[in-house]
Structure 1
Amino acid sequence: MADLDVDVVVIGAGPVGENAADRAHQQGLSAAIVEAGLVGGECSYYACIPSKALLRPVDLKAAVDRMPGVASGPVDVAKVLERRDQFAAEDDSSQADWLSGAGITLLRGRGRLTGERAVEVTHDDGTTTSVTARAVVVATGSVPTYPPIDGIADVGAWTNRDATQVKDVPSSLLILGGGVVGVEMATAYQRLGAQVTLVQHGERLVPGVEPEAARRLQASLEADGVDVRLGTSMTAVRRSDGAVTATLDDGSEVTGDELLVAAGRKPATSDIGLETVGLEPGKPLPADDTTTVLADWLYAVGDASTGAKLTHMGKYQARICGDVIVARARGQQLGGRYSHHATTAEHTAVPQVIFTDPQIAAVGYTEDAARAEGLPVRSVSYEIGNVAGGSLQADGYDGFATIVVDTEREVIVGATFVGQDVADMVHAATIAVVGEVPLSRLWHAVPSFPTMSEVWLRLLETYGL
């Protein structure tokens, strides 16, 4: 049994855990990080990065197809997968080297709490390291969930890991779930040559977005050839002759070479020793706005905690977490930037991009969500194709922008952009929402011509300014 004493130990070396450790270490604290899998975590190898590497080429081809005078041809699937591997090959040596260069100790193995401020790491060779620390940060991420479907455990169903690390594209694919993973993979695989059938229990896709955004996304998927089944569930699945057949609750059947289960995730907190400190395993850790879970020593960030399950929001929490740990080590009072509640970002201004075609980029409330919170709101929309930048971006540009305005304070509390190449437009909206910029002031933020950002001017005009 080896022993290690550090200021901060982080369980989980994904981007969120890395940020927490690095933030604390840069300010003078010693830090160690524990990882049982690949350094870089889910996002680097199985989620954000490889999925976008698969989506970018097919998205670009669609954009070229909408531009007369530009040559277009079939997607070279082998080269798409080869480029994906350049970003997300299952080799973490460069990320491990980064930790070493940053002065952060990497402990490869499974970390478990054994009591207050104590973590035991079990390495692959069976040896253990006992770590004591002033602060312990849980950044273990999340794992896929499987719905209770007869036969689901026996068919070799894919998770996002299989879908993003695939070596060959199947001729057909069943997808269970119409959330972000489901619709992004439906977009990628249909355009890479698979016949995709998507089964969604709810009455529309990606239910957290504006209804019109979901409608246009569904129309686009169906125009591509995706068989979208809404308001239905799988009751049983079986594999025979190499294919998976799913029975739906209306008695019909659908078949595909593979089945991707994209029906949700749960915190990866089942086997990290939470019971030794009085917490329930398998649940999200109840961190407060300073990311603190217990007293002044246990913290949680990212998917293991409460709040938005997005890499950028987890990294935001991690920066706050590192600063809080340092402030407490120095005996400083917490406040201001030491709390994500102070900026409202975690509560009402979470930005997100869904990299389908059309892209959906949104921040803050939808109109329905704002009304459910009791806010006095009015929303206005404008077709992006009706501004010069949109019409120049693509022939027949199909997309729109919506802002949700608090009519008492005259500030934007939500915004949605739908269409080709809108992903980067959401940050301006995020600044407006987080900064609570009055519309009277926003009116003087003049958009460049001819860009799609001119839609901001049209939205404010439509509102009545």
Structure 2
Amino acid sequence: MTETQSTHMESTAYDVVVLGAGPVGENVADRTRAAGLTTAVVEGELVGGECSYWACMPSKALLRPVIARADARRVPGLRQSVQGPLDAAAVLAHRDEYTSHWKDDGQVGWLEGIGADLYRGHGRLTGPRTVTVTGSDGGRRVLTARHAVAVCTGSRAQLPDLPGLAEVEPWTSREATSARSVPGRLVVVGGGVVATEMACAWQALGSRVTVLVRGKGLLNRMEPFAGELVAEALTEAGADIRTGTSVKSVTRENGTVLVVTDGGDRIEADEILFATGRAPRTDDIGLETIGIEPGAWLGVDDSLRVTGHDWLYAVGDVNHRALLTHQGKYQARIAGAAIAARAAGEPVRAEDWGAHAASADHSAVPQVVFTDPEVAAVGLSLAEAEQEGHRVRAVDVDLSSVAGAGLYGDGYKGRARMVVDLEDEILRGLTLVGPGVGELIHSATIAVAARVPVARLWHAVPSYPTISEVWLRLLEAYRDA
């Protein structure tokens, strides 16, 4: 079954019903089907979700030529060949290919291949273990779940409460990743991952970018030097970054956006992007029918089961544990295994680091910010570790001191910080900033998740000459401190 177009109420029973067919919902369905459970998936938009069409894939397709050109310009003998502007039309066309031109045929085929049934339409809970799907033709279908309903509806951009903002038609992350042309002037409001990545992409594609940050700097949830190095590079590229600045009003007249800041500055632009946070897509999925406030983040245990409801799971962004696609997919694998175990009457291993516990969400969450320079981090920052009461030491290394960095390109700038727990002598976190560091973060993730002792890390020898030699430099700095 690929689509329901029913003009009257029908009811169908499944073992599992999944609300949302993004990467998280797809992975829950994959695991429950692999366990032999009949599974229905409900989706009101495109199968593949936010990541495939308006987030991870299109944003990285926009950023890849930006970063590749920046890397090439650091290499003697090559930089002279890449001094011209990017071919914006070609970049946007490549982005369109990566989003399958916003068509989901391939992902629908994948769902069919695993044996899941897809229902297109708006799905709402209408009681315990019950989901009613309203199709585009108004027809409704009732789905009942013998074992579990998994809410995988993700999150949406949260816009500030500014008078008349809707009439301005501002960009959110969706418009920023799917725009058909390059705006001459772009104002970016926010200082997080979406703001920095989109500022980097559109500045390189030809926009004159102004970034307005309410706080002290960019990427304020990471080590301070991460935001500082990204801000320095964006400024060198031509962006105007203003910290300690809020938007007081925004209007659009004759196609021009006028932004007035709390400091009285007036900025004109062709488009304005608000990257000011996320809200859960739980406002219209029937939570009130089971005693939960609509629009709420859903609290879960480590098996991703919603508090107080033994049949309801909330997986991915909706539980607010880690708003990252890869963590949502990790949670989906855990939730799928837990649902299957409970359905079979088997023991559920939800203890710390058990087969049915999303333990990594607490201490080993990796993230890469695909700016130039890249930022990669896993685990706790120094400030977070100290706030949690750990006795830790931070060890910093200038990445330009690593032989592999010098070969990567002239003028390499970067920094690494390792946060070591002095009680257990394990890593609590690692942050890397510099060209090419995104591919290094998984080794750090393994070290943090597996709680590898520092003494054991000495025997994990990095290849020479690669940037991964930073591991040796960090360990030497820790030893010699």
Bin of the TM-score, shorter chain as denominator length: over 0.9
Which moves more between the two structures, 148-157 or 111-120? Answer: 148-157
Name the counterpart of 1:373: 388
* Alignment partner, residue 86 of structure 2: 75
Paired with 2:395 and 2:298, the residues of 1 have a C-alpha distance of 38
Counting only pairs closer than 5 Å after superposition, residues 59-458 of structure 1 correspond to structure 2 as 59-70=67-78, 71-72=81-82, 73-88=84-99, 89-134=101-146, 135-293=148-306, 294-335=308-349, 336-341=354-359, 345-458=360-473
- For residues 361 and 339 of structure 1, the distance between their equivalents in structure 2, rounded to whole angstroms, comes to 25
Partner of 1:58: 66
- The one-letter code of the counterpart of 1:243 is T
C-alpha separation between the residues in 1 aligned to 2:300 and 2:388?
Answer: 23
Deviation at 1:2, TM superposition (A): 1.7
Q: Which runs of 4+ in 1 moved over 3 A?
A: none
Are 1:34 and 2:5 an aligned pair? no
In 2, the alpha carbon distance for the partners of 1:439 and 1:357 equals 30
Give the 3-state SS of the residue equivalent to 2:123 in structure 1: strand
Deviation at 1:74, TM superposition (A): 2.2
CA distance in 2, matches of 1:456, 1:244: 47
Residues 380 and 463 in structure 1, CA contact (< 8 A), matched pair in contact too? yes
1:187–1:221 contact (8 Å) kept in structure 2: yes
Amino acid at match of 1:276: T
Contact 1:287–1:306 (Cα < 8 Å) also in 2: no
Paired with 1:358 and 1:151, the residues of 2 have a C-alpha distance of 36
Q: Matched residues in 2 for 1:198 and 1:450: separation?
A: 37
Correspondence for 1:21: 29
Aligned equivalents of 1:66 and 1:104: distance in 2?
A: 48
Unaligned runs of at least 5 residues, structure 2? 1-8
Could you report, residue by residue, the CA deviation over 1:139-177 in whole angstroms, capped at 9, with x for unpaired residues?
A: 000111111223312111011111111111011101111
Distance 2:70 2:455 in 1: 38
Counterpart amino acid of residue 375 in structure 2: I
* Cα distance in 1 between the residues matched to 2:94 and 2:74: 24
Of 1, 13, 22, which aligns to 1:5? 13
Paired residue secondary structure (1:33):
strand
Matches of 2:73 and 2:320 in 1, distance apart? 42
Task: Compute the displacement of 1:385 (Å).
Answer: 1.4
For structure 1, the residue ranges without an aligned partner over 5 or more in a row are: none
The alpha-carbon deviation at position 62 of structure 1 amounts to 0.8
Return the letter of the residue paired with 1:462: A
Q: Give % identity.
A: 52
d(CA) in 2 for partners of 1:151 and 1:299? 37
Deviations 1:405-448 (A, max 9, x none): 00111111000010001101010001000111011110010000
Query: Displacement of 1:339 after TM fit?
Result: 0.8
> Greater CA deviation, 147-156 or 349-358?
147-156
Corresponding residue SS for 1:246: strand
- Letter aligned with residue 313 of structure 1: Q
Q: C-alpha distance in 2, partners of 1:149/1:458? A: 49
Q: Give the Å deviation of 1:241.
A: 2.5
Cα distance in 2 for residues equivalent to 1:443 and 1:38: 47
Question: Counterpart of 2:302 in structure 1: which amino acid?
Answer: D
**TM-score with structure 2 setting the length:** 0.95
